[in-house]
Chain A
Amino acid sequence: MRKHSVRWLLPFLLLFPVLSWGQDDRPPVTRAYFINNAYVVQEPGKVIDLGAVIIRNGLIEAVGKDLKAPLDAKTLEGDSLYVYAGFIEGLSHTGVPKPKQPERGSRPQVKDPGNPPNDVAGIQPERSVTEMLKADDKSVADMRKLGFTAAHVVPYGGMLPGQGAIVLLDGDNGKEMVLRTNTSLYSTFQGGRRVYPATTMAIMSKYRELYRQAEQVKGNMSKYSTNARGMNRPEYDEVLEAFFPVIDKKMPVFFEVDDIKEVHRAMGLAKELGFNLALAEVSRGQLVMEKLKSTGASVLLTMDLPKAKKEDGKGERGQGRRGKGKGEKAKPNSGKAEKKEGDKKMSPEKKKMMAKAAARRDASRKELEEQAAMFAKNGIPFGFSTLNVKPTEVRAHLGRMIKAGLTADQALAALTTAPAKMLGIDQMAGTVEEGKIANLVVTDKPYFEEGANVRYVIVDGKPHEYEVKKKKKKGPSDPSAVVKAAGEWAVTIKVPGQTTEGTLTITGEAGSYEGTFTSDDGESRSLSDVALDGNNLTFGSKFEAGPQTISLDFDLTIAGDDIEGSVKVGNFGSFEVEGSRTPE
């Protein structure tokens, strides 16, 4: 038993030295690159056909036609490829490891829930995200392979999680990623868990109080610094001092909102207190466009969307009663929902009502999908925030927004020029121009066209190459595909320098899946919490490493007979997993 455990653990133990030494310490042969004969989209609407880009020492050295390859440059074949400026996340948690979620229903151990310590209350505006960045967090690679090269990142937390920074999505460590610090005071309407401020009304009140107190203390401090004699010394308060640059309008507040009510609330606070406001995760914003225009707040639309409607109309979560996240989610395509309805023998009247309700759900979905197009049509500049979207959903969601009326140029602007301007980095990013940071995305078809593959993402002058995967027989886009988790899967866990292969066996059916993972040396362990949600298969496992138990959390996506995703190994990071079904 003991021996077995150790054997299974071996690959993971081996990876630590590999990681800590870095994957490759040798300097690159050259830091000059040449992309030729490409369709270079310098910025939305400005294109060079058969153009070239020269990159040197992290910067774009030249862009144009008929450029000569520098002698020392490595050529990246650009024939029939498309080159864009690297995308920018307007607000995200990319590169910030997600803190462990407290158990549901647990309450923080505080003496008085009405007066909790600041960290429990979620009031930590003095923190900087730069201290939390991890270059090897899986989110960095995940967003980068979609074409994102820079991000405005903020910490996780409650009503005031901390201050943001602008980072590049590459680097050996968190510090190397940083482009600019103290770029924003990040705020949310996320209340404390059963501690003050728990509700939005308490958050609103606390926000006003902190802001007014900060103004007061700031005034006292400046008075004290000019003439201290006879004056009581102002108390040092790091929370209040974090507001000072906001009061001076040197730092904007980035407010994460959920739906239009919170848009109004954030705008109300900004107007009342007088700070510069940027709104993030805006949805259904077309309903407040006039007010947004008049206040001049910066806008980041959410990239999150409700689940797409399947062509056969079965894409909804079915019978749930406000059951977001609660209880068992009905599987799409299971046909279960329909059977239930059939059993009830609906009256024609009720049928009609249900159909009307379904039509309203469709209209609501459409409203969310066409938000970006409506903003573009009304000439309100916007970027995207990616706080709540899964990387795997980004391209599909962009596709749905485009289907709903957003043009490719407008989408590109929202991913490049608009956020660059909003974040004040348009001198160094957002377009393919000489002198800017060499942040580029290279694709084999126009990015927003279906089936386009990202071939290179260049961050800070360093190219990352992506292989084009073979077309799958049964792609994930096939709406009639039935997601089948049960069966045997041959999988590979890609740990740098130490790849493990094994067999994943899933048995049982929805709601009662079980499974085992057998590594190629014959060691077998059982899996816990095996669950399938749509095509998303998740499960856990554990192994003992000396005195401690390390947990493995798998998060995989099934597409026909292919499976891919990641496994989180304790605190050591996430690693790619991929595999395919073993034919029965």
Chain B
Amino acid sequence: MKLEGKRLIWQDYQKEIADDHYFYARSCIRQTFFPGAEAVFVKILKDELGKDIHDNAHHTSCTGIGYHSDVVPFDTTMTVVARQFALMTEAGYENYAASCITSFGLYTEILETWHHFPETEARIREFLYKATRREFNKPKNLAHASDIIYKFRHQIAAKAKFKLVDKNTGEPLKVVEHIGCHYSKMFPHKGIGGAEYPYVLSGMIEAWGGEVVDYPERRHCCGFGFRQYLVQANRGFSISCSKKKFESMEPYEPDLIITNCPGCPMFLDRWQYALSEMEGKTYGKNNHGIPVFTYEEVAGMLMGYNPWEIGLQVHQVQAEPLLDKIGIPYDASQKFKGKNGEDIGIPESPSYLKFYAD
């Protein structure tokens, strides 16, 4: 593989990312799946980088999952998104930062639609006004939250206490990057690095000391792909997608997987448990599985945040072997304690995947 060839492509796919003053639109599922990820994003931007980020309590789902599952019509979706833009406008912001990949893809699709069909935009403005008496400006800058972390990856590296490096050998960790399908596959020029060789996560991995693993099924869907999962009868497709990826990446012995989509870490993490129970097979060394993280969690880990405060204990594949490899300290006795010290309960141990509880 010639990295130089990828670098030439990356030059063609750069985008403008606002420097400050973000209106942050959260994901509807991430706070359930990986509750610390969005909190880490806000903390890093506010506390570490001194940025202004507006977290609005009134925004709703973008309807993306319903839209892609054909249960929400496009006009409805556009009107809901127009309301999000109205909240941004009312709050005095122009830079929209989406936490969710599907939302980001959908906002991009809607803005492109309005660009090419101004009459559609006018119709949606009318719908929104009739329904809510709200008006809006379109964002001056639209970014996915991973674009913003990518933009500040070197500043984060400069402040980080740890690197994606094996503390015993000094060797870079081998990292699989998995990009959400809706990040750039629909609009390659809206994503850092384009659709075929996205750079948004690779750039973070390089800046934070790791080595990117390029494996044959890198581009393949994680297994969420809404219809594969939401239609119960199709879930075999979902888990087989994930399995295909694990089988393909396994020979490269990756230390971890980093993702930038709400669904990908969920499915790549939880399906490892399901596959182990179905087939007795685990990936990674010593039945540990291959740990899967969001890019915010990885940034938080490297900044030295308490792993339990950023929610790593809710991962199915346990984070401890990786924390040990990097040398990140943690208090095992606090793993299943809530913020107020209350016991949050210890999950049942899987049959094959290694589980750590004090």
Does B associate with A? no
Which A residues lie at the B interface, using CB under 8 A? none
